[in-house]
Amino acid sequence: MDRKNVWSSYTQEELSKLEEVNNLYKSCLDAGKTERECVSITAEMAREKGYRDLKEIVKAGEPVKAGDKIYAVCMDKTIVLFHIGSEPLENGMNLLGAHIDSPRIDVKQNPLYENEEFAYFDTHYYGGIKKYQWLALPLALHGVIVKKDGTVVTVNIGEKEEDPVFVITDLLVHLAGDQMEKKAKEVIEGEKLDLLIGSRPIEKDESLEKEEKEAVKKNILSILKERYDIEEEDFVSAELEIVPAGKARDLGIDRSMILAYGHDDRVCAFTSLFAMLDAENIKRTACCILVDKEEIGSVGATGMHSRFFENAVAEIMELSGGGSDLKLRRALQNSMMLSSDVSAGFDPMFAECFEKRSSAFFSKGLVFNKFTGSRGKGGSNDANAEYIARLRRVMDEGKVAYQFAELGKVDVGGGGTIAYIMANYGMEVIDSGVSVLCMHAPWEAASKADVYEAYKGYKVFLEEM
Protein backbone atom coordinates (compact mmCIF):
# COMPACT_ATOMS: atom_id res chain seq x y z
CA MET A 1 0.00 0.00 0.00
CA ASP A 2 1.73 3.14 -1.23
CA ARG A 3 1.43 6.38 0.74
CA LYS A 4 2.47 9.66 -0.87
CA ASN A 5 4.88 12.19 0.55
CA VAL A 6 2.52 14.84 1.93
CA TRP A 7 4.70 17.90 1.33
CA SER A 8 3.46 18.27 -2.25
CA SER A 9 -0.19 18.29 -1.14
CA TYR A 10 -0.04 21.36 1.14
CA THR A 11 -1.51 24.73 0.25
CA GLN A 12 0.32 27.89 1.30
CA GLU A 13 -2.15 28.28 4.16
CA GLU A 14 -1.43 24.74 5.36
CA LEU A 15 2.32 25.33 5.12
CA SER A 16 1.95 28.39 7.35
CA LYS A 17 -0.04 26.36 9.89
CA LEU A 18 2.56 23.58 9.68
CA GLU A 19 5.36 26.00 10.57
CA GLU A 20 3.28 27.49 13.39
CA VAL A 21 2.73 24.07 14.97
CA ASN A 22 6.39 23.09 14.56
CA ASN A 23 7.72 26.36 15.97
CA LEU A 24 5.51 25.89 19.03
CA TYR A 25 6.73 22.30 19.29
CA LYS A 26 10.40 23.35 19.16
CA SER A 27 9.86 25.94 21.89
CA CYS A 28 8.23 23.27 24.09
CA LEU A 29 11.16 20.90 23.47
CA ASP A 30 13.62 23.61 24.48
CA ALA A 31 11.76 24.37 27.70
CA GLY A 32 10.83 20.77 28.50
CA LYS A 33 13.83 18.45 28.78
CA THR A 34 12.59 16.68 31.92
CA GLU A 35 9.23 15.31 33.01
CA ARG A 36 8.83 18.06 35.60
CA GLU A 37 9.50 20.73 33.00
CA CYS A 38 7.02 19.15 30.59
CA VAL A 39 4.31 19.03 33.26
CA SER A 40 4.97 22.66 34.18
CA ILE A 41 4.66 23.75 30.51
CA THR A 42 1.50 21.68 30.04
CA ALA A 43 -0.21 23.06 33.15
CA GLU A 44 0.67 26.64 32.19
CA MET A 45 -0.66 26.22 28.64
CA ALA A 46 -3.79 24.50 29.97
CA ARG A 47 -4.55 27.30 32.42
CA GLU A 48 -4.25 29.83 29.60
CA LYS A 49 -6.97 27.85 27.77
CA GLY A 50 -9.31 27.88 30.77
CA TYR A 51 -8.41 24.58 32.45
CA ARG A 52 -8.70 24.41 36.25
CA ASP A 53 -6.88 22.26 38.79
CA LEU A 54 -8.95 19.26 39.92
CA LYS A 55 -7.69 19.68 43.49
CA GLU A 56 -9.22 23.16 43.69
CA ILE A 57 -12.53 21.93 42.30
CA VAL A 58 -12.65 19.02 44.76
CA LYS A 59 -11.75 21.30 47.67
CA ALA A 60 -14.54 23.73 46.75
CA GLY A 61 -17.01 20.89 46.14
CA GLU A 62 -18.01 22.41 42.82
CA PRO A 63 -20.09 20.35 40.39
CA VAL A 64 -18.56 19.31 37.07
CA LYS A 65 -20.64 19.82 33.94
CA ALA A 66 -20.36 19.62 30.16
CA GLY A 67 -17.85 22.10 28.76
CA ASP A 68 -15.68 22.18 31.88
CA LYS A 69 -11.93 21.94 31.39
CA ILE A 70 -9.95 20.25 34.16
CA TYR A 71 -6.37 19.11 34.75
CA ALA A 72 -4.76 17.00 37.46
CA VAL A 73 -1.07 16.59 38.32
CA CYS A 74 0.67 13.67 40.02
CA MET A 75 3.94 14.47 41.82
CA ASP A 76 4.85 17.09 39.19
CA LYS A 77 5.75 14.31 36.71
CA THR A 78 2.44 13.18 35.23
CA ILE A 79 -0.54 15.25 34.10
CA VAL A 80 -4.00 14.50 32.73
CA LEU A 81 -6.39 16.95 31.05
CA PHE A 82 -10.17 16.52 30.67
CA HIS A 83 -12.56 18.46 28.44
CA ILE A 84 -15.98 17.31 29.63
CA GLY A 85 -18.27 16.41 26.73
CA SER A 86 -22.00 16.66 26.23
CA GLU A 87 -22.44 12.88 26.53
CA PRO A 88 -22.42 11.18 29.96
CA LEU A 89 -18.94 10.18 31.08
CA GLU A 90 -20.23 6.65 31.50
CA ASN A 91 -20.39 6.44 27.69
CA GLY A 92 -16.62 6.58 27.60
CA MET A 93 -13.87 9.03 26.66
CA ASN A 94 -11.66 9.71 23.69
CA LEU A 95 -8.16 9.39 25.13
CA LEU A 96 -4.78 10.55 23.92
CA GLY A 97 -1.85 9.11 25.86
CA ALA A 98 1.90 9.64 25.53
CA HIS A 99 4.96 9.64 27.75
CA ILE A 100 7.16 12.61 28.64
CA ASP A 101 10.20 10.80 30.01
CA SER A 102 13.11 10.27 27.62
CA PRO A 103 16.33 8.21 27.77
CA ARG A 104 19.00 10.12 29.66
CA ILE A 105 21.62 9.87 32.40
CA ASP A 106 20.71 10.53 36.04
CA VAL A 107 22.91 11.81 38.85
CA LYS A 108 23.24 9.40 41.78
CA GLN A 109 22.26 10.32 45.36
CA ASN A 110 25.86 10.52 46.63
CA PRO A 111 27.40 11.84 43.45
CA LEU A 112 30.18 14.35 44.02
CA TYR A 113 33.75 13.07 44.12
CA GLU A 114 37.28 14.09 43.15
CA ASN A 115 39.75 11.94 41.20
CA GLU A 116 43.24 13.22 40.29
CA GLU A 117 42.09 16.83 40.68
CA PHE A 118 39.01 16.42 38.50
CA ALA A 119 35.54 16.77 40.04
CA TYR A 120 32.82 14.41 38.83
CA PHE A 121 29.18 13.52 39.35
CA ASP A 122 28.59 9.77 39.66
CA THR A 123 25.75 8.68 37.38
CA HIS A 124 23.25 5.97 36.46
CA TYR A 125 21.74 5.85 32.97
CA TYR A 126 17.95 5.80 32.52
CA GLY A 127 16.19 3.84 29.79
CA GLY A 128 17.62 2.14 26.73
CA ILE A 129 20.66 4.02 25.42
CA LYS A 130 23.75 3.28 23.40
CA LYS A 131 26.18 4.39 26.08
CA TYR A 132 28.95 5.34 23.65
CA GLN A 133 26.71 7.96 22.02
CA TRP A 134 26.83 10.08 25.19
CA LEU A 135 30.60 10.58 25.17
CA ALA A 136 32.31 13.85 24.20
CA LEU A 137 29.04 15.79 23.86
CA PRO A 138 28.11 19.13 25.47
CA LEU A 139 25.70 18.19 28.23
CA ALA A 140 23.37 20.15 30.50
CA LEU A 141 22.11 19.55 34.02
CA HIS A 142 18.37 19.89 34.77
CA GLY A 143 16.34 19.08 37.85
CA VAL A 144 15.54 19.94 41.43
CA ILE A 145 17.29 19.78 44.78
CA VAL A 146 14.93 19.68 47.77
CA LYS A 147 16.35 20.77 51.12
CA LYS A 148 15.24 19.37 54.47
CA ASP A 149 13.07 22.43 55.15
CA GLY A 150 11.11 21.72 51.95
CA THR A 151 12.74 24.45 49.86
CA VAL A 152 12.88 23.38 46.21
CA VAL A 153 15.94 24.59 44.30
CA THR A 154 15.57 24.45 40.52
CA VAL A 155 18.72 23.59 38.57
CA ASN A 156 19.18 24.33 34.86
CA ILE A 157 22.82 24.69 33.79
CA GLY A 158 24.08 24.45 30.23
CA GLU A 159 21.24 25.84 28.11
CA LYS A 160 22.01 29.56 28.02
CA GLU A 161 24.82 30.89 25.83
CA GLU A 162 26.66 32.17 28.89
CA ASP A 163 26.28 28.89 30.83
CA PRO A 164 29.05 26.35 31.22
CA VAL A 165 28.37 22.86 29.86
CA PHE A 166 29.52 19.42 31.01
CA VAL A 167 30.99 16.35 29.33
CA ILE A 168 31.52 12.62 29.71
CA THR A 169 35.04 12.07 28.44
CA ASP A 170 36.16 9.56 25.81
CA LEU A 171 39.54 7.97 25.15
CA LEU A 172 41.66 9.62 22.47
CA VAL A 173 41.92 7.59 19.27
CA HIS A 174 45.72 7.38 19.60
CA LEU A 175 45.35 5.19 22.71
CA ALA A 176 42.11 3.46 21.79
CA GLY A 177 43.42 0.33 20.07
CA ASP A 178 41.93 -2.05 22.65
CA GLN A 179 38.76 0.02 22.97
CA MET A 180 38.14 -0.09 19.21
CA GLU A 181 38.23 -3.91 19.31
CA LYS A 182 35.35 -4.09 21.78
CA LYS A 183 31.69 -4.64 20.94
CA ALA A 184 29.69 -1.42 20.83
CA LYS A 185 27.87 -2.24 24.08
CA GLU A 186 31.25 -2.66 25.82
CA VAL A 187 33.01 0.46 24.49
CA ILE A 188 32.09 2.30 27.69
CA GLU A 189 30.81 0.79 30.93
CA GLY A 190 27.88 2.29 32.79
CA GLU A 191 30.05 3.10 35.80
CA LYS A 192 32.34 5.21 33.59
CA LEU A 193 29.56 7.51 32.38
CA ASP A 194 30.49 10.03 35.05
CA LEU A 195 30.07 13.72 34.38
CA LEU A 196 33.12 15.99 34.43
CA ILE A 197 32.10 19.16 36.30
CA GLY A 198 35.29 20.92 37.41
CA SER A 199 39.09 21.05 37.76
CA ARG A 200 39.91 24.24 39.67
CA PRO A 201 40.94 23.93 43.35
CA ILE A 202 39.54 26.20 46.00
CA GLU A 203 41.73 29.19 46.81
CA LYS A 204 44.30 28.28 49.42
CA ASP A 205 43.93 29.76 52.86
CA GLU A 206 47.32 31.46 53.39
CA SER A 207 47.02 31.02 57.16
CA LEU A 208 47.25 27.25 56.72
CA GLU A 209 50.49 25.49 55.90
CA LYS A 210 49.00 22.27 54.52
CA GLU A 211 47.38 21.92 51.12
CA GLU A 212 43.64 21.43 51.09
CA LYS A 213 42.59 17.83 50.51
CA GLU A 214 40.09 17.38 47.65
CA ALA A 215 40.42 21.07 46.90
CA VAL A 216 38.60 20.81 43.56
CA LYS A 217 35.60 19.15 45.18
CA LYS A 218 35.62 21.80 47.91
CA ASN A 219 35.59 24.52 45.27
CA ILE A 220 32.55 22.94 43.58
CA LEU A 221 30.75 22.78 46.93
CA SER A 222 31.66 26.41 47.59
CA ILE A 223 30.16 27.49 44.26
CA LEU A 224 27.01 25.45 44.87
CA LYS A 225 26.64 26.96 48.33
CA GLU A 226 27.05 30.47 46.96
CA ARG A 227 24.70 30.00 43.98
CA TYR A 228 22.06 27.64 45.37
CA ASP A 229 22.59 27.66 49.15
CA ILE A 230 22.88 23.87 49.24
CA GLU A 231 25.13 21.46 51.11
CA GLU A 232 26.59 18.17 49.88
CA GLU A 233 24.01 16.23 51.91
CA ASP A 234 21.20 17.86 49.91
CA PHE A 235 22.07 15.70 46.90
CA VAL A 236 20.36 12.83 48.72
CA SER A 237 17.00 14.52 48.08
CA ALA A 238 17.75 15.70 44.56
CA GLU A 239 16.57 14.67 41.10
CA LEU A 240 19.15 15.80 38.57
CA GLU A 241 19.06 14.70 34.95
CA ILE A 242 21.90 14.95 32.43
CA VAL A 243 20.63 15.81 28.94
CA PRO A 244 22.17 17.11 25.71
CA ALA A 245 22.80 20.85 25.85
CA GLY A 246 21.29 22.96 23.10
CA LYS A 247 18.07 23.85 21.35
CA ALA A 248 15.93 21.99 18.85
CA ARG A 249 17.09 22.97 15.36
CA ASP A 250 15.72 22.79 11.84
CA LEU A 251 17.37 19.90 10.01
CA GLY A 252 18.28 19.97 6.32
CA ILE A 253 18.94 22.71 3.79
CA ASP A 254 15.20 22.64 3.07
CA ARG A 255 14.37 22.91 6.80
CA SER A 256 11.97 19.98 6.42
CA MET A 257 12.95 18.19 9.64
CA ILE A 258 13.75 18.87 13.29
CA LEU A 259 16.83 17.62 15.13
CA ALA A 260 16.32 17.60 18.88
CA TYR A 261 16.68 15.76 22.14
CA GLY A 262 13.53 14.01 23.36
CA HIS A 263 11.39 13.43 20.25
CA ASP A 264 10.76 10.07 21.96
CA ASP A 265 8.14 10.66 23.14
CA ARG A 266 7.58 14.39 23.41
CA VAL A 267 6.78 14.63 19.71
CA CYS A 268 3.61 12.67 20.53
CA ALA A 269 3.07 14.31 23.92
CA PHE A 270 3.16 17.92 22.74
CA THR A 271 1.17 17.30 19.55
CA SER A 272 -1.44 15.53 21.71
CA LEU A 273 -1.44 18.54 24.03
CA PHE A 274 -1.84 21.02 21.15
CA ALA A 275 -4.75 18.98 19.77
CA MET A 276 -6.37 18.78 23.20
CA LEU A 277 -6.16 22.53 23.76
CA ASP A 278 -7.52 23.29 20.26
CA ALA A 279 -10.31 20.69 20.16
CA GLU A 280 -13.85 22.06 19.85
CA ASN A 281 -17.44 20.77 19.87
CA ILE A 282 -16.60 17.91 22.21
CA LYS A 283 -19.31 15.26 22.41
CA ARG A 284 -17.53 12.41 24.21
CA THR A 285 -15.29 13.66 27.00
CA ALA A 286 -11.80 14.31 25.63
CA CYS A 287 -8.77 13.37 27.67
CA CYS A 288 -5.02 13.77 27.27
CA ILE A 289 -2.69 11.97 29.67
CA LEU A 290 1.07 12.56 29.66
CA VAL A 291 2.92 10.10 31.87
CA ASP A 292 6.33 9.34 33.32
CA LYS A 293 8.46 6.17 33.52
CA GLU A 294 7.50 4.55 30.18
CA GLU A 295 11.17 4.06 29.33
CA ILE A 296 11.62 1.79 32.35
CA GLY A 297 8.32 -0.11 32.29
CA SER A 298 5.69 2.50 33.26
CA VAL A 299 6.25 1.65 36.93
CA GLY A 300 5.88 3.69 40.11
CA ALA A 301 3.40 6.31 41.24
CA THR A 302 3.90 8.45 38.13
CA GLY A 303 3.93 5.62 35.57
CA MET A 304 0.89 4.34 33.67
CA HIS A 305 0.64 1.30 35.95
CA SER A 306 -0.35 3.59 38.84
CA ARG A 307 -3.99 4.34 39.77
CA PHE A 308 -3.60 8.09 39.28
CA PHE A 309 -5.60 8.28 36.04
CA GLU A 310 -8.34 6.00 37.32
CA ASN A 311 -8.61 8.01 40.55
CA ALA A 312 -8.87 11.30 38.62
CA VAL A 313 -11.74 9.90 36.51
CA ALA A 314 -13.48 8.69 39.70
CA GLU A 315 -13.21 12.17 41.25
CA ILE A 316 -14.70 13.79 38.16
CA MET A 317 -17.56 11.29 38.00
CA GLU A 318 -18.34 11.95 41.66
CA LEU A 319 -18.41 15.71 41.05
CA SER A 320 -20.64 15.09 38.03
CA GLY A 321 -23.24 13.52 40.33
CA GLY A 322 -22.88 10.07 38.85
CA GLY A 323 -20.11 8.41 40.77
CA SER A 324 -20.04 4.67 41.46
CA ASP A 325 -17.52 1.90 40.97
CA LEU A 326 -19.67 0.29 38.28
CA LYS A 327 -20.08 3.54 36.34
CA LEU A 328 -16.33 4.15 36.57
CA ARG A 329 -15.68 0.70 35.10
CA ARG A 330 -18.15 1.42 32.31
CA ALA A 331 -16.55 4.78 31.55
CA LEU A 332 -13.12 3.17 31.21
CA GLN A 333 -14.32 0.15 29.22
CA ASN A 334 -16.35 2.30 26.80
CA SER A 335 -13.38 4.57 26.08
CA MET A 336 -11.23 4.66 22.94
CA MET A 337 -7.55 5.53 22.99
CA LEU A 338 -4.64 6.48 20.79
CA SER A 339 -1.58 5.33 22.72
CA SER A 340 0.96 7.58 21.09
CA ASP A 341 4.62 6.69 20.91
CA VAL A 342 7.25 7.14 18.21
CA SER A 343 7.86 4.65 15.42
CA ALA A 344 11.20 3.67 13.90
CA GLY A 345 11.51 5.63 10.67
CA PHE A 346 12.81 3.72 7.66
CA ASP A 347 16.49 4.56 7.32
CA PRO A 348 18.05 3.60 3.94
CA MET A 349 21.48 3.57 5.60
CA PHE A 350 20.28 0.58 7.67
CA ALA A 351 17.71 -0.88 5.28
CA GLU A 352 18.66 -4.44 6.25
CA CYS A 353 16.92 -4.00 9.62
CA PHE A 354 13.55 -3.00 8.13
CA GLU A 355 10.80 -4.80 6.23
CA LYS A 356 9.98 -2.07 3.74
CA ARG A 357 6.31 -2.88 3.17
CA SER A 358 5.67 -2.59 6.92
CA SER A 359 7.88 0.39 7.75
CA ALA A 360 7.11 3.95 8.79
CA PHE A 361 8.41 6.61 6.42
CA PHE A 362 9.22 10.26 6.90
CA SER A 363 6.65 12.74 5.59
CA LYS A 364 3.92 10.16 5.04
CA GLY A 365 1.88 11.08 8.05
CA LEU A 366 0.73 9.77 11.41
CA VAL A 367 1.83 6.17 12.03
CA PHE A 368 -0.54 3.49 13.34
CA ASN A 369 0.79 0.22 14.75
CA LYS A 370 -1.84 -2.51 15.04
CA PHE A 371 0.48 -4.22 17.49
CA THR A 372 3.87 -3.65 19.11
CA GLY A 373 5.73 -6.12 21.32
CA SER A 374 8.65 -8.17 20.04
CA ARG A 375 9.32 -11.38 18.14
CA GLY A 376 6.01 -13.32 18.34
CA LYS A 377 4.08 -10.17 19.36
CA GLY A 378 5.23 -10.75 22.94
CA GLY A 379 4.01 -8.07 25.34
CA SER A 380 1.89 -6.30 22.75
CA ASN A 381 -1.51 -4.73 22.51
CA ASP A 382 -3.23 -5.91 19.32
CA ALA A 383 -5.98 -3.55 18.15
CA ASN A 384 -9.31 -4.83 16.82
CA ALA A 385 -9.95 -4.67 13.09
CA GLU A 386 -13.31 -2.97 13.73
CA TYR A 387 -11.64 -0.17 15.68
CA ILE A 388 -9.01 0.30 12.97
CA ALA A 389 -11.69 0.52 10.29
CA ARG A 390 -13.45 3.29 12.23
CA LEU A 391 -10.17 5.15 12.65
CA ARG A 392 -9.48 4.91 8.92
CA ARG A 393 -12.84 6.45 8.13
CA VAL A 394 -12.43 9.31 10.62
CA MET A 395 -8.88 10.08 9.47
CA ASP A 396 -9.88 10.03 5.81
CA GLU A 397 -12.84 12.32 6.45
CA GLY A 398 -10.52 14.66 8.37
CA LYS A 399 -7.99 14.63 5.49
CA VAL A 400 -5.21 13.35 7.77
CA ALA A 401 -2.24 11.61 6.16
CA TYR A 402 -1.52 8.32 7.89
CA GLN A 403 0.34 5.02 7.45
CA PHE A 404 0.57 1.61 9.11
CA ALA A 405 3.84 0.08 10.26
CA GLU A 406 5.73 -2.34 12.48
CA LEU A 407 8.97 -1.78 14.38
CA GLY A 408 11.56 -3.43 12.12
CA LYS A 409 11.82 -7.00 10.88
CA VAL A 410 9.99 -9.69 12.85
CA ASP A 411 13.14 -11.26 14.32
CA VAL A 412 15.03 -7.98 14.66
CA GLY A 413 12.71 -5.32 16.02
CA GLY A 414 10.38 -4.87 18.95
CA GLY A 415 9.31 -2.39 21.55
CA GLY A 416 6.60 -1.55 24.03
CA THR A 417 4.27 1.34 24.88
CA ILE A 418 1.58 2.12 27.45
CA ALA A 419 -1.14 0.67 25.17
CA TYR A 420 -1.37 -2.75 26.82
CA ILE A 421 -1.82 -1.16 30.25
CA MET A 422 -4.86 0.87 29.22
CA ALA A 423 -6.23 -2.09 27.25
CA ASN A 424 -6.56 -3.89 30.60
CA TYR A 425 -9.66 -1.77 31.20
CA GLY A 426 -11.26 -3.36 28.14
CA MET A 427 -11.17 -0.16 26.08
CA GLU A 428 -10.25 0.04 22.40
CA VAL A 429 -6.56 0.99 22.11
CA ILE A 430 -4.15 1.31 19.21
CA ASP A 431 -0.57 2.51 19.06
CA SER A 432 0.02 5.62 17.00
CA GLY A 433 2.75 8.21 16.68
CA VAL A 434 5.43 9.89 14.63
CA SER A 435 8.24 8.35 12.61
CA VAL A 436 11.70 9.13 14.07
CA LEU A 437 15.30 8.53 13.00
CA CYS A 438 18.08 7.90 15.57
CA MET A 439 15.54 6.86 18.22
CA HIS A 440 16.99 6.88 21.77
CA ALA A 441 20.10 8.75 20.65
CA PRO A 442 21.00 12.08 22.29
CA TRP A 443 19.77 13.82 19.11
CA GLU A 444 16.80 12.42 17.18
CA ALA A 445 15.23 13.50 13.88
CA ALA A 446 11.57 13.95 12.90
CA SER A 447 9.73 15.34 9.88
CA LYS A 448 7.87 18.61 10.29
CA ALA A 449 5.13 17.23 8.04
CA ASP A 450 4.62 14.25 10.36
CA VAL A 451 4.49 16.53 13.41
CA TYR A 452 1.74 18.51 11.72
CA GLU A 453 -0.21 15.43 10.59
CA ALA A 454 -0.01 14.00 14.13
CA TYR A 455 -1.52 17.21 15.50
CA LYS A 456 -4.29 17.06 12.89
CA GLY A 457 -4.96 13.37 13.52
CA TYR A 458 -5.15 13.74 17.29
CA LYS A 459 -7.54 16.68 16.99
CA VAL A 460 -9.84 14.80 14.59
CA PHE A 461 -9.80 11.80 16.95
CA LEU A 462 -10.94 13.91 19.92
CA GLU A 463 -13.68 15.67 17.99
CA GLU A 464 -15.07 12.94 15.73
CA MET A 465 -14.60 9.45 17.24
Model confidence over 361-375: pLDDT tens digits? Answer: 999 999 999 887 666
Number of domains in the chain: 2
Last residue within a domain, chosen from 210, 244, 278 = 244
Q: Is residue 443 part of a domain?
A: yes
Q: Is residue 392 part of a domain?
A: yes
pTM: 0.95
**pLDDT number for residue 371:** 82
Residues 125-142 pLDDT 10s = 999 999 999 999 999 999
**pLDDT number for residue 3:** 82
Last residue within a domain, chosen from 213, 244, 275 = 244
pLDDT below 70 — which residues of the chain? 1, 205-211, 373-375, 409, 411-415
**pLDDT number for residue 370:** 87
**pLDDT number for residue 211:** 63
Q: Is residue 309 part of a domain?
A: yes
Q: Do 228 and 162 share a domain, yes or no?
A: yes
**pLDDT number for residue 345:** 95
The CATH code of the domain that includes 143 is 2.30.250.10
Q: Is residue 172 part of a domain?
A: yes
Q: Do 111 and 91 share a domain, yes or no?
A: no
Q: Do 428 and 300 share a domain, yes or no?
A: yes
**pLDDT number for residue 102:** 97
Sheet of 118-126, strands arranged across: 152-157, 139-146, 238-244, 104-115, 118-126, 195-198
Q: Is residue 1 part of a domain?
A: no
Q: Do 302 and 367 share a domain, yes or no?
A: yes
Q: Could you tell me the residue range of the domain that residue 173 belongs to?
A: 104-244
Q: Is residue 286 part of a domain?
A: yes
**pLDDT number for residue 204:** 74
**pLDDT number for residue 207:** 52
Q: Do 70 and 186 share a domain, yes or no?
A: no
Residues 275-292 pLDDT 10s = 999 999 999 999 999 999
Residues 282-330 pLDDT 10s = 999 999 999 999 999 999 999 999 999 999 999 999 999 878 999 999 9
Q: Do 351 and 423 share a domain, yes or no?
A: yes
Q: Do 284 and 229 share a domain, yes or no?
A: no
Q: Do 320 and 445 share a domain, yes or no?
A: yes
Residues 416-465 pLDDT 10s = 788 899 999 999 999 999 999 999 999 999 999 999 999 999 999 999 98
**pLDDT number for residue 177:** 94
**pLDDT number for residue 414:** 64
Q: Is residue 249 part of a domain?
A: no
Q: Do 56 and 175 share a domain, yes or no?
A: no
Q: Do 353 and 323 share a domain, yes or no?
A: yes
The CATH code of the domain that includes 354 is 3.40.630.10
Q: Is residue 253 part of a domain?
A: no
Q: Do 140 and 225 share a domain, yes or no?
A: yes
Q: Do 235 and 304 share a domain, yes or no?
A: no
**pLDDT number for residue 50:** 97
**pLDDT number for residue 261:** 98
